[in-house]
Structure 1
């Protein structure tokens, strides 16, 4: 990844207006193309351990930089990051590029209630397998565990209060996050190194996706 891509995001953060953006549209275009090239390389590396990822179109994987401000108090018109969803199925991989705040992530976020219940049943019914996946050494090394954002205070109805994986059943999202430094993104072999981090997420994604087959 080019230094200029992160520099663009820094400047956009400081000048988040349509006027500034339109005056620097060519720099945005260059930065976006740089991110697409980076994601293409990353997909190539990830396809070595997850062949389904080879189907992902790098350009289409990127989220729009334009913000929907209709229902937000924050009226800034542009996101100050590049985000890419590298996924085939409900569970997948996510790349977030933002100076000083970049991260890799994976899993499932914001499931509908019926699908959430289905997934919780899968976890409860295969407790040992799930615990082995989230307790695996490389997964713990990079991601630490699953995010507890939005976690319930009690085991949801329909499950035993003393369920062996009750703490996981309280989760509303099944997501893991690994922060990444700017320096790591700018390394020449960054796609290869990031792919190795994503490799430790594959067993989790496989388990989550299997619940909906």
Structure 2
């Protein structure tokens, strides 16, 4: 699926991030980025069903699991038009955007990783997650500290400097209640991305996060 030529293309795109270069090299983008990504997504569909049947692998060019290559530059000082990474997200069937619970694959020249969870959840969703942690900290700790999960995954994201309003500062899970993101990362090597076992590895790693993802889904009242 992905090859060393995929990474070479991403490097070249970073050095030539403009519309003229991209249009001239669009056939390479299709062959080295989009087509391998769609093949990977299609191969992940039956794998996801074995441990997370409510999450979707959608191998579509637009609007599916492959995130668009175009950057949103409306509120950014950086006006380069294209992303220099490949982003693939397997969202919950009831999720509407990137902030919903999901499984994610990030492929870039400088860093590759798997990710799971809720990135920048909206205020209502964030409140629901915090409330469930506050009400049932033992269930949260069991999910967060699950042996298979912590062996490969590490919690990541932004946190408040002070306890959020309405939560006791001495709550046993106060460090987690301060979180603004409920995301975990597992690193990937270029060899793993370009190897023949990527689909099997993705399924194994994502399945290890079942307690964590099930907790988030319970908080948001959607089936895992």
TM-score (norm 1): 0.93
Partner of 2:184: 176
Q: Across the two proteins, how many residue pairs are aligned to each other? A: 210
Deviation at 1:93, TM superposition (A): 0.6
Q: List per-residue Cα deviations over 1:27-73 (Å, max 9, x = no partner).
A: 111120111101221233232211223x4313211111011222211
How many Å apart are 1:126 and its aligned residue? Answer: 1.2
Report the equivalent of 2:88: 84
Query: What does residue range 58-207 of structure 1 map to in structure 2 within 5 Å?
Result: 58-59=59-60, 60-88=64-92, 89=95, 90-144=100-154, 146-147=155-156, 149-207=157-215
Question: Is residue 6 of structure 1 aligned with residue 16 of structure 2?
Answer: no
**Structure 1 unaligned blocks of 5 or more:** none
CA distance in 1, matches of 2:195, 2:75: 39
- Give the deviation of 1:106 after TM superposition: 0.7
Aligned to 2:52: 50
- Tell me, in whole angstroms, the C-alpha distance in 2 between the residues paired with 1:40 and 1:79: 22
SS at match of 2:106: strand
CA offsets, 1:153-185, max 9 Å, x none? 222121111111111101011000112111111
Q: CA deviation at 1:13?
A: 1.2
SS at match of 1:51: coil
Asked if the contact 1:62/1:84 (under 8 Å) is kept, the reply is: yes
Aligned residue in 1 for 2:42: 40
Contact conserved, 2:137 with 2:173, CA < 8 A, in 1?
A: yes
**What are structure 2's unaligned runs of at least 5 residues?**
none
State the Cα deviation string for residues 106-165 of structure 1 (Å, max 9, x = none).
111112223212211111111111101111112111113x21x32112221211111111
Higher relative contact order (CA 8 A, sep 6+): 1
**Root-mean-square deviation (CA), in Å?**
1.4
- Please tell me whether the aligned partners of residues 100 and 181 of structure 1 are also in contact (alpha carbons under 8 angstroms): no
Aligned counterparts of 1:161 and 1:74: Cα–Cα separation in 2:
39
TM-score calculated relative to the size of structure 2: 0.88
